[in-house]
Amino acid sequence: MTLATRSHEATPILSLPDRPGGPVIGVLAVQGDFAEHLRMLARVGATGVEVRTPEDLERVDALIIPGGESTAIGKLLARYGLDVAIVARASVPSPDPGGATGQGEPPRPPLAIWGTCAGMILMARDIGDSGSKVVAQPLLGLMDLSVRRNAFGNQLDSFETDLDAPVVSPRQPVHAVFIRAPLIERAGEGVEILARLPDGRPVAARQGHLLATAFHPELTNDLSFHRYFVERVAAATSFAELPVR
């Protein structure tokens, strides 16, 4: 059983050139490498806008939380009231949009969100025991993931590698840049692992309309994850594809 599809979302956005209006992808622009994400969105033909306030968030169909410093980004989110606004818009709405009367406005589909690196940390439910007891790490807690910050230690502070990610890039590996990257230590049942390091450790995951990558596609020439997010994850937030809870 699925929820009704809103009329203007009846056509999935599978081919962006066919939908010149396309979805508007917000990029959280309070700290970190948001400019690089905006450049990548332009390269895949999507409309990207900076998001700094809850009002900005109202105007977007999807959101990217960039890499940077997750503690700083988390604190700024709270300062601007964006943490509450993001969590509210990312939630799957109740299957009874009209309430008791059935007369209400149809609810909006939940906000698709992609967190890269620091953004992935913010998406996670918890940071295992990797958070120092004295550092309060603000989290959005949207994805059923436990992540470990700075998981690669000093020697592998930053590195590049090619990853197999067949769902995202069926024909060729994805080039990935890791910078003081987190690692997924636990993924819940509803989470699909999209990419692993050659040693098998997971570094990209999707949970319905939510996506997380430990690495930075925005710092490479590899457009596959940006394409995947815009064409598959953001497009899938039509009600037709959402399970009723």
Active site residues: 117, 216, 218
The pair of three-digit structure tokens given for residue 220, joined into one six-digit string:
């490479």
Q: Assess 180 for contact with ligand GLN (CB under 6 A).
A: yes
**According to CB under 6 A, which residues from 185 to 204 bind ligand GLN?**
none
Binding piece for ligand GLN, criterion CB under 6 A, among 11-19, 40-48, 64-72, 93-101: 64-72
Beta carbons of 88 and 241 less than 8 angstroms apart: no
> 3-class SS at 97?
coil
Q: Which residue in the set 117, 163, 183, 194 belongs to the binding site for ligand GLN (CB under 6 A)?
A: 117
Structure token pair of residue 227: 């394409």
Binding of ligand GLN by 150 (CB under 6 A): yes
- Decide whether 121 or 165 has the Cβ nearer to ligand GLN: 121
Closer CB to ligand GLN, 13 or 183, in the complex:
183
Nearest to 119 by CA among 175, 163, 77, 85: 77
* Binding of ligand GLN by 118 (CB under 6 A): yes
Q: Across the chain, where does the E strand assignment appear? A: 24-28, 47-51, 62-65, 112-116, 124-126, 143-148, 158-163, 174-179, 183-187, 192-196, 202-207, 210-213
Q: State how far the alpha carbon of 208 is from the alpha carbons of 39, 129, 242, in Å.
A: 25, 26, 8
11 part of the interface to ligand GLN, by CB under 6 A: no
Q: How far is the CB of 245 from ligand GLN (least distance, A)?
A: 31
Q: Does 67 bind ligand GLN (CB under 6 A)?
A: yes
| Site of interaction with ligand GLN (CB under 6 A) | 67-70, 117-118, 121, 149-150, 179-180
